[in-house]
Amino acid sequence: MTTTSPFSARWTRLAAGVATAAAVILGAAEAAPATAAPTASTAGSATTATASVSATYTPAQAKAKLRAAGITWRSSKNCEDKNRNGCTSFQGIRRTTVDGVIALRRASRCPIVITGAAEIPPHKTTGTYTHGKGYKVDIALNPCVNRHVPRHARKIGSATWAAGSVEYLRESNHWDITYKGSGSGSTAPAARTWPTLRSGARGHAVTTAQQLLRIGADGRYGPATVRAVRTFQRKHHLTADGVLGPATWQRLAPTLRSGSRGDAVKALQTQLRRHGARIATDGGYGNATAGAVRAFQRKHRLTADGIAGPATWQRLLAAN
């Protein structure tokens, strides 16, 4: 018979106590045997919990990110109760919604004031993409946003525009914005961006910029191009540094569609020809140009609507 010394017994009890304490601290899941497989119900619960954490921000997290981006919010009754009319609540707001509003702020450089978020009344409660489920925000109307949205999204209704998975509905005193997907307003990879050009740059993107600026297009970013960029920047209340970055591109490259005419269409046609399109550079956005745009969009995994908006311009300027 094997005997156990008093010291060994005390040590065993102490070790068991430490293990129990660790299980309490780390959670019951950590205390379970490593070989135990989760049941269907517990696996589903874990998946749901993980998805919930990854899909939404806490109110504190949402407000911190919005505040850091220079976005403010208000409510008519100065409250944050999700279930009370007149409040503005971030309880249960989706990460993509918050990140989408921040992207709008950065792209437009417009003041953004949120007047409605994830609260339930007085908003619609049925359906998938609702305020209460965290997919929508309301932002106050202002001249800057009122110009930016129609310019950078396609019109799909009398007062509705869309850009990728984002929909913008203009109501009497606010924009109702729905973020159905990534929140980026585009189906293209997130890494795509506008090129930054400055004095000394050369290439096809410089040629496009010069065509859009209506100056001699020689593909060289010289003093004349710097002056033209500064003039454009001052006109549009941008930092007049002569550097053509994302904020300047967003105002310089217009959204073009069937029926558009002018130098911007010629710049678009020049880029499309560079990518193999057999079209004329006549400055008229006809069926041939629309077809070339759709072909380019399909090739680069963009929404193939035949409209040359920001996502299409970015890809044209970035693609080799």
pLDDT digits (tens, 9 = 90+) for 45-59: 433 333 334 589 999
Mean pLDDT of 18-45: 34
Check if the beta carbon of residue 213 is closer than 8 Å to that of residue 229. yes
- What φ, ψ does residue 304 adopt, rounded to 5°? -85, 70
62 pLDDT more than 80: yes
Report the distance separating Cα 297 and Cα 193, nearest Å.
Answer: 16
Enumerate the CATH 1.10.101.10 domain ranges in the chain, comma separated: 204-318
Q: Which band of pLDDT confidence, cut at 50, 70 and 90, is reported for residue 32?
A: very low
Give the per-residue pLDDT at 319. Answer: 56
Give the per-residue pLDDT at 264. Answer: 95
More confident residue, 281 or 152: 281
Give the per-residue pLDDT at 7. Answer: 41
Topology classification of domain 204-318: Muramoyl-pentapeptide Carboxypeptidase; domain 1 (1.10.101)
**DSSP at 38:** P
Check if the beta carbon of residue 230 is closer than 8 Å to that of residue 278. no
**DSSP at 30:** H
